[in-house]
Each structure stands twice: as structure tokens, then as C-alpha cells.
Structure 1
Amino acid sequence: MNCQWPIAELLPHAGDMILLDEVLRYGDEDVHTRLEVRSGGLFSQADGSLPAWVGIELMAQSVAAYAGCQARQAGEPVRLGFLLGSRNYQCNVDRFPAGSDLRITAQRSLQDDNGMGVFECQLDGPGIQAVARLNVFCPPQIASYLKEQPQDSAL
């Protein structure tokens, strides 16, 4: 499906932390996003490039955009989620040059009722390829999850 919402309405991020430009399309099990690497961004290097390790965040934001699309489609608010980790991030370059058009795909391979999920992700650009499996968590009751527990003063 084509995405009818701006990226800022799909991610629980704000300002410069939103790295993606748009959702190209999404489905029941996947999302396709893109961004053009520009100088002056939050993680930009002096030459305007992005270090390749930012690919993990681009993949994670793509997963968040997937969740945002699903929530918006159901008439629900966008919820906060967490990147728990990544398995075997592989990238064939050490940086993404300024001006590169990057395309990210996140394919859901597992999701349970407790909010745990696994996504197979791929990032492609001119001469660029990165892959990773992301483990994510979106707690069903985020407010109670984030509530600070009282410290036990008797240690």
C-alpha cells in the first residue's frame, strides 16, 4: 500500500533524529523506506557522508515506520518501541556518501502478543548493500513499562 502519512507522523522521534525521508510503501508484513544522504545531518561526517553504522538506525526507524503505518491504519496512536539488538549487521562500505539514495526494506519474520518482534532488514544504494536481523520490543502497556520503580533503600 502507498503511505498516506508524513514520516514525522509515523515515528516516535522528533527533529533531527528523524533520519528517513519517506515510506515508499508498506504491507501486512513489510515496509519500504528511503532517504537521500545529505550533509549537515545529526550523524553526518565532514564530507557529508554517513558512517555505515548508522545503517542499523535506518533499519530500526524503518521498523518503527512499519509499526506507525499499522497503528495509523487501525486508527491508533503511534507507540514507542525499542531496538533490543541486531544479529550480524553486514555492510560492504564504511560510509554512505552524500547524495546517495538509500532504500531500506524491513520484513517481519516474527511477532508475538507480548510485543517482541524480529525483522529481516536490507539497505541498498549505489554500490551499497547492508543486511541485518533486528530484534525489537513494543510493550503493550508502555506507560506501566516506563514507570520508574521505587528504589529499595535497605541494601
Structure 2
Amino acid sequence: MSAYNKSELISQNGADFNSNFEMFPDSIKEFADGQYVSKMNLDTDDSFEYTILRIKYSEDDYNAELERLSNMGDAKSEVGSGNLIYDDKSYNYPAYIAKDGEDNVYEYVLNNENEREIIYVILSNPIVSEMKEWYEYLKIDRNSYEK
């Protein structure tokens, strides 16, 4: 978790993901429980990148973060319109989705209500077989990521 730095993510990966990581929290210093991973493989024909941040929040912080996310989008918007859409069917958890395959980029937040966890995910050219450890955070229909 200590490796997470939103400013660095934006400067190093923003262009690749075509994202300003707006859905991701600005800081996680006050949150000790969670996990952060960022991986890229740009050296082959099968290039891919992903960043996943999972944070377990206190009840108050969890509610505040859900409020922040819900105010970012309009549930009736089209995916990719600059707003978030809400989807409670495509993933293992309810999701707020910013990008769903545009230029092969997927950007979304998952809400694990039972654990008060929020999982922030961004994928570029996802290769599902390279992400077995993270299947829980991918679409239920993993074939939908096929190019």
C-alpha cells in the first residue's frame, strides 16, 4: 500500500490508460488495510497494464467514499461519456464504471459492501490469463475482454 501515489500514477500511466485516475483516491495514508498492485508488460506483442487498489474503510470513511463516487456520475449516462454508470450485474460486486473497453481500457470501482471495501481497477489491453490472482475483480464474463 505504501507504494501507491496517485500523482505518479497519472504522470507515468495516465497517457497509456487515457485517464486522470479521477476515481482513485488522492491519498491512502490513513488507510492501513488494503492492497495495491500495478503491473505492466510493454515489451511484447501481448502488452498489457493493470492497476488495482483495494481499501478496507472504517464505516464513516466508507460512506464518505461511496458518496464521493456516486456524485461523480449519472447512472443514466452512456459508458465513456465522462460520467460514471452504475452496474450491479457484470461484476462480482456492484460497480461504478468510467470506461468499458474504449481503446481496450477498462476503468471501474467495485463496492464490496459486506467488508466495507472499495476496489479501484484500471486495465489496458487486459490479458485475463495474466490476472488469475485478480479474477474476483474482473467481469463475470471474462471472455468479454477478448480482443
If each structure's helix is expressed as a fraction of its own residues, which one has the higher value?
Answer: 2
Q: TM-score, normalised by structure 2?
A: 0.33
Question: TM-score when scaled to structure 1?
Answer: 0.32
Give the number of the structure whose residues are more often strand, by fraction: 1
